[in-house]
Each structure stands twice: as C-alpha cells, then as structure tokens.
C-alpha cells in the first residue's frame, strides 16, 4: 500500500474522522442528520429525472451557483448555510458531487468548522464523500496545524479507492511546514516522485517557503538552483519557479543578510518574465535597509511605483522601522508623512515602531506624547504599545510611572505577558524597589502566567544586585528541587551575582555543579569567571580558563579579550596584551573604543612606544575604529 510508506500518525484512522465542533458553533438546523433509508445512497442511485416541481436536480449545485452569480462570488456564511439547508431538504437528495462547490466555498472563506459539519452530515446520511471533498477536508486540517488528522484523511481517501494527487501531497507538505516539521516535509517531498506524482511549482513553493521560514534558506536555495536550471530531472520532469517561489527565497535571503544573492534572484525573476509584487519588493527593500544600502532601497521604492506596484502599509512601516533603527528619525517621519499623503493610514504597528525607537534613544517626552495621541488617530494602544513605553520609563528610572501605566493597562483589559512582567520587574530592581518587584513576581503567578528562564534570570540578578544573595540562592535551590529545567542563562546570572558580591567560592562551586549537570558553558559564563579571577588577582588561572574555552571551541568575544588585556596591563605584562591583540585580529573580533584605550595605555607604559607600535596587529577597518584613529592622528 502507498500509505505504508508515509509518516504514521496514531489516530482513529480505522474509522472516518470524528470531527468535533464546540457547542458555541452548533446551529439550529444546519448539518443535522435527517432520516434516510438504511440502504446507503451512492452518486449512481441518487440520479433522478428532473420535473417541473424539482428543477434543481438538473444540477445539484444550481442554488449555490445562482447565489454566487447574484453576489459576484461574495457570499456570506448565513447565505451558504441557507443554501445547504435547501439542498438537504430536496427529495431525492442531490448527488454528493453537488455538495462539492459548497464545501470548496466554505473552505476558501476559512469556515473550517462548517466544512467539518458538512463532512459529518455526508457520512451520517450514508453518502460517500467525493475525492474533491476529502481533499478539501485534508487541506483544512493542514491549515489548522492538524497535519496528523490530515494524514488520517489521506488514509480514508486511499481506503475509498481514490488515488491521491499532487494537490493532496502539497497540502500535507504545507501542513508539516506549518508545524515546523521540516525533516518530515522534505522526506514526504522526496517520496512524491516514488508515489507516482510530479511536484508542481506550488509544491516547490510550499516547501521552499517552509524552509526559508525556519531558517533553512541555504537548502531552499540549493533546491531552487536545481529546479530553476531548466534541465530535465528524470522522466521528462521540469519545473519553472513562480512568483510565490521566488518571493519566499528572496524574503529568506534578505532576512539572513544575504542581500547580494537576494538581488541576484530578484533580477533573475524579472528576466524570466515574472513581475515582482508588493510582497517581494517589501522583502528586498527591508533587506537593503538592514544592510544600510539606503540609496538602493530608495531606488527600489521608485522602481516599485514606476511599475505601478503600489506600496502598502507594510512597505512604509518596514521602511520607518529600519530608518529609525539607524537613528534617522527625521527621515522616518518624512516617510510617515509621505505615507499619509499617498492615502495610506498608519496603523498601531507603524506607530509602535516609532514609539519603540523614541524610547530607545531616550526621547521619552516625545514618546509619551505619541502614545497619548493614539486614540485621536483612531486606535487604542495595544499590548506592545504599553510594554514599549513601560520599558522606556524603566530605562529612565521612572518605575513609579511605569507601574501606574501597568495598572492602567490591566484596568483597560489589556492582558500583560511574561515579557511585560519581566520588563517591569527588572526596572523595579534597577531602582531598588525590591518589595514591589517581589509582589509583581508573585502576582504574575496568581494570574496564571508561568515565569520562564528570563523571568528567573531577572529575579535572581535583581536580588544579587540589591545584596539579597541568600534569598537568590534560596530561590535557585527551590528551582533545583522543582521540575523547572535550569539552563545556562540562569546559572550565568547567579554566578555573576555571586562574583560581584565577592562570594567567588560559592560561584565556583556553582560552576562545578553546572558542569556536572551536563550543561555547556558559553562565552558569557567564561567571561564572568575570567573577570572574577582577574579581580582577585589570579591572572594565571584567568589565562588558563581563557585557553580552556578556546580548546573547547568556545570563541572569546570582545569582552573576554578586553577583560584579560586590562588584567595584563595591571600586571605590566605588555607582551601578553600584544599577543591577545594579534589573536583578536586573527579571529576577526572587531575592536572598539575600549580596545583603542588599551592600545594607548600600552604605548604610554612603554618608553620605546614606536618599537611597540610596530608590534601591534592591523585590524580590518571598522567605522568606529577609523574615527578613533583619525582623532589620534589629529591629536598627535
């Protein structure tokens, strides 16, 4: 059997699907079983001669077609339900194929619960669902992230003697991708050829979209290059990429910063006669802005309008986001003005983007003014608006205002998330409001929000910074005794707090327990311990830990190098500082202003500074480093 070679999902596959619908969706007369003869009716014995009193049977879908024609294809759910009521009251019952257009329209309009009710009615009245009907049912399951039920529908299809087609398999590939089951999706895709089907552009586009969405853009690109070559891939099989296919890869490449390859594919799709739509332009423009290619982004925007592809709210919002993140607030507001001039209404996401950047750069009064203007603009602040402003207030030590805003938020029915609580708890600890932080931590659990690893990291860090180390250790030990899975972040937080509280022995003991648990230290763990060892004057042990992290494949970062270099300068070991600078250059770790200060310190300690200068490595030019070097020369 074909089904044996497909992924196996445990369900009631032996029976036809039991499609439960919640009580709130029950209807008075719709999809209710009616009395029928015990003998199962088939499409063959359902045929009846048309009469003047029963003209509908000349076409079982006459009512629906008439309804669609009358409303130019736009039919409400109530009209569809009325149409179904009329069809099931006919005597004799129309052929089951007459219900196919109805189930297709219901599925197209995402009325999935009604699709399931219709399918159940067909089954309960002794009718045999058509191939098209089961295909639609399977696709609905996949759209609802119920791919396991989709495979059960596939089993029903095969058991009824139908041969699955490429539409069936494409739906299943989509369902697996939506549930991030990429390995299973690739496996099924490979089996499609063996099952006697040939994937089409939609199948490829579906898999490519799933690969890009889950960060597997390289695999997607390889698949694209194989298929887009136009070569025969066996049995005369060729497949030409379409708009969705190209759009998915360009979006994936842009998000991963591979903008040159994204531009290459953009030109390729135009050369192949495929006109980019607003989604493709948005993806590429976003990628260009993130790589600071402003002029190219502007040129693309102009090309877009020249090609009569109208920018949408997403286009403008993405552009505003990237400009504001680059510190170009004036340009961001210019784009906002252009947006309104072109008749596009900014939404809450657009304004949240500006609100976030205003808070980030410390323009809090302007951010509050923007926040208060939301109702006048036609919408209320949402969860993200409140969380952004709470974070901005906490950064400016205005935790009283932040707490008031939090209470206002909950009073208006906007339910905070774990992120909101984490932000406010962190801010309260930052200003020494330990009691309020504790209360908030307890409150979130009362409201059935489960603290995550970040919550505990914030809480433990706050306790340590406010010299409540004993309490932090108690909380940590209670976590060890519970089923909560301790991770590197929590260990790092407590080790750092202990080191800064001059309790290095306990921190070292905790680190040893960390290793015994099988957890792998990361660059943050090593940097914390190296810093603590240097502070204690144990430079040899600190250097030994540095060598250990390199040996274990953990790459030091700028903080690690800077910590050790400062220690060696204090110990007057200039040669070791120079050695570390060379290692930085070899590992392509970019220097910053603090590195520059270290170099100045080294030169000032060595009377033969010109000779020492010749020993220093050459780094690739960095913007900040370049500025600092120029200023040094000007001072000289």
Give the Cα separation of 475 and 442 in Å (integer): 13
Q: Could you give the residue ranges of the DSSP H alpha helices within 342-433?
A: 348-360, 364-372, 383-395, 399-411, 418-430
Of 169, 198, 227, which marks where a domain is finished? 198
For residues 501 and 532, membership in a common domain is answered with no
Give the Cβ contact number of residue 190 at 10 Å: 10
Give the Cα separation of 506 and 495 in Å (integer): 8
- The SS3 call for residue 45 is coil
**Is 359 inside any structural domain?**
no
Of 503, 519, 535, which marks where a domain is finished? 519
Give the Cα separation of 583 and 617 in Å (integer): 9
For residues 500 and 533, membership in a common domain is answered with no
Summarised one tens digit per residue, pLDDT across range 551-599 is 988 999 999 988 988 888 888 888 888 888 888 888 888 888 777 787 7
For residues 455 and 527, membership in a common domain is answered with no
For residues 530 and 582, membership in a common domain is answered with yes
**Is 413 inside any structural domain?**
no
* pLDDT (0 to 100) of residue 630: 30
CB 105 within 8 A of CB 118: no
- The SS3 call for residue 51 is strand
Rg (CA), the chain: 32
* pLDDT (0 to 100) of residue 487: 87
Give the Cα separation of 78 and 100 in Å (integer): 18
| Range 378-389 burial, b when 16+ CB lie within 10 A, else e | eeebeebbbbbb
**Is 153 inside any structural domain?**
yes
The enclosing domain of 163 has a CATH number of 1.25.40.10
**Is 235 inside any structural domain?**
no
Contacts of 455 by beta carbon, 8 Å cutoff, 6+ apart: 418, 421, 422, 425, 441, 444
pLDDT < 70 stretches in the chain: 1-77, 79, 228-238, 603, 605-616, 619-636
Cα–Cα nearest to 213, from 241, 181, 242: 181
Burial class (CB in 10 A: 0-12, 13-18, 19+), 442: exposed
Give ∠ CA 4-5-8 in degrees, rounded to 5: 65
For residues 540 and 614, membership in a common domain is answered with yes
Give the Cα separation of 283 and 264 in Å (integer): 14
Which H or E run contains 535? helix 523-535
Of 139, 164, 198, which marks where a domain is finished? 198
Give the Cα separation of 416 and 408 in Å (integer): 11
Give the Cα separation of 87 and 60 in Å (integer): 8
| Maximum separation of any 2 CA atoms in the chain, in Å | 113
Q: What is the DSSP letter of 482?
A: S
Cα–Cα nearest to 278, from 214, 344, 206: 344
Instruction: Calculate the dihedral angle through the C-alpha atoms of 18, 21, 22, 27, rounding to the nearest 10 degrees.
Output: -130
Positive or negative, the Cα torsion across 121, 123, 124, 127? positive
Contacts of 17 by beta carbon, 8 Å cutoff, 6+ apart: 119, 137, 149, 152, 153, 156
* pLDDT (0 to 100) of residue 530: 93
Summarised one tens digit per residue, pLDDT across range 276-318 is 999 999 999 888 888 878 788 888 888 888 888 888 898 888 8
For residues 569 and 603, membership in a common domain is answered with yes
Write out the DSSP string of 584-632.
Answer: HHHTT----HHHHHHHHHHHHH-TTHHHHHHHS--PPP-HHHHHHHHHH
For residues 160 and 135, membership in a common domain is answered with yes
Whether residue 92 is preceded by a cis peptide bond, meaning omega within 30 degrees of 0, is yes
Cα–Cα nearest to 342, from 303, 322, 315: 315
For residues 509 and 543, membership in a common domain is answered with no
**Is 234 inside any structural domain?**
no
For residues 601 and 493, membership in a common domain is answered with no
Contacts of 47 by beta carbon, 8 Å cutoff, 6+ apart: 95
* pLDDT (0 to 100) of residue 22: 39
**Is 608 inside any structural domain?**
yes
For residues 103 and 189, membership in a common domain is answered with yes
**Is 96 inside any structural domain?**
yes
How many domains does the structure of the chain reveal?
3
* pLDDT (0 to 100) of residue 32: 34
Whole domain around residue 470: which residue ranges? 451-519
Give the Cα separation of 34 and 576 in Å (integer): 89
For residues 490 and 605, membership in a common domain is answered with no
For residues 548 and 583, membership in a common domain is answered with yes
**Is 481 inside any structural domain?**
yes
Give the Cα separation of 435 and 49 in Å (integer): 82
């Amino acid at each position: 059997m074909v089904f044996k070679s497909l992924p196996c999902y445990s369900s009631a596959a032996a029976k036809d699907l039991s499609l439960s619908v919640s009580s709130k969706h029950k209807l008075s007369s719709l999809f209710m079983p009616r009395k029928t003869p015990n003998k199962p009716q088939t499409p063959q014995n359902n045929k009846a001669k048309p009469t003047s009193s029963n003209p509908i049977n000349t076409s079982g879908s006459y009512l629906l077609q008439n309804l669609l024609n009358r409303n130019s294809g736009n039919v409400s759910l109530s009209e569809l339900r009325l149409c179904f009521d009329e069809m099931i009251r006919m005597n004799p019952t129309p052929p089951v194929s007459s219900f196919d257009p109805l189930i297709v329209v219901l599925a197209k309009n995402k009325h999935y619960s009604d699709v399931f009710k219709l399918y159940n009615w067909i089954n309960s009245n002794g009718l045999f669902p058509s191939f098209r009907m089961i295909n639609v049912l399977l696709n609905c399951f996949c759209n609802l992230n119920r791919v396991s039920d989709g495979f059960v529908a596939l089993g029903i299809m095969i058991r009824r003697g139908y041969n699955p087609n490429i539409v069936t398999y494409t739906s299943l590939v989509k369902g697996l991708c939506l549930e991030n089951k990429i390995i299973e999706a690739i496996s099924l895709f490979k089996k499609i050829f063996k099952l006697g089907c040939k994937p089409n552009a939609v199948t490829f586009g579906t898999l490519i979209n799933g690969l890009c969405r889950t960060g597997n853009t390289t695999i997607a690109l390889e698949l694209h290059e194989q298929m887009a070559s136009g070569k025969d891939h066996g049995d005369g099989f060729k497949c030409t990429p379409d708009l969705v296919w190209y759009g998915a890869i360009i979006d994936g490449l842009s998000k991963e910063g591979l903008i040159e390859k994204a531009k290459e594919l953009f030109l390729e799709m135009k050369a192949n006669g495929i006109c980019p739509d607003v989604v493709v332009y948005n993806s590429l423009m976003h990628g260009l802005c993130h790589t600071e290619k402003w002029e190219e982004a502007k040129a693309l925007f102009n090309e877009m309008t020249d090609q009569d592809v109208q920018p949408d709210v997403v286009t403008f919002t993405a552009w505003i986001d990237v400009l504001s993140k680059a510190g170009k607030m004036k340009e961001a507001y210019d784009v906002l003005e252009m947006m309104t001039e072109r008749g596009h209404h900014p939404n809450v996401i657009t304004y949240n983007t500006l609100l976030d950047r205003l808070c980030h750069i410390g323009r809090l009064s302007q951010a509050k003014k923007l926040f208060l203007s939301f109702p006048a603009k036609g919408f209320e602040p949402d969860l993200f608006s409140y969380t952004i402003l709470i974070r901005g207030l906490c950064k400016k030590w205005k935790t009283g205002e932040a707490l008031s805003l939090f209470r206002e938020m909950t009073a208006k029915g906007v339910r905070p998330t774990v992120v909101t609580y984490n932000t406010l708890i962190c801010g309260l600890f930052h200003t020494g409001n330990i009691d309020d932080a504790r209360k908030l931590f307890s409150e979130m659990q009362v409201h059935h929000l489960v603290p995550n690893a970040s919550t505990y990291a914030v809480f433990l860090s706050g306790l340590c910074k406010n010299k409540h180390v004993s309490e932090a250790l108690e909380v940590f030990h209670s976590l060890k005794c519970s089923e909560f899975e301790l991770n590197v972040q929590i260990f790092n937080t407590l080790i750092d707090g202990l080191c800064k509280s001059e309790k290095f022995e306990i921190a070292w003991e905790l680190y040893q327990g960390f290793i015994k648990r099988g957890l792998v230290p990361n660059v943050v763990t090593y940097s914390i311990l190296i810093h603590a060892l240097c502070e204690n004057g144990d430079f040899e042990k600190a250097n030994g830990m540095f060598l250990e992290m390199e040996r274990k494949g953990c790459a030091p970062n700028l903080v690690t190098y800077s910590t050790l270099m400062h220690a060696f300068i204090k110990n007057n070991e200039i040669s070791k500082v120079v050695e570390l600078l060379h290692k930085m250059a070899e590992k392509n770790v970019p220097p910053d202003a603090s590195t520059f200060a270290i170099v100045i310190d080294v030169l000032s300690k060595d009377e033969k500074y010109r000779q020492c200068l010749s020993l220093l490595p050459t780094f690739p030019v960095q913007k900040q480093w370049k500025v600092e070097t120029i200023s040094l020369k000007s001072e000289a």
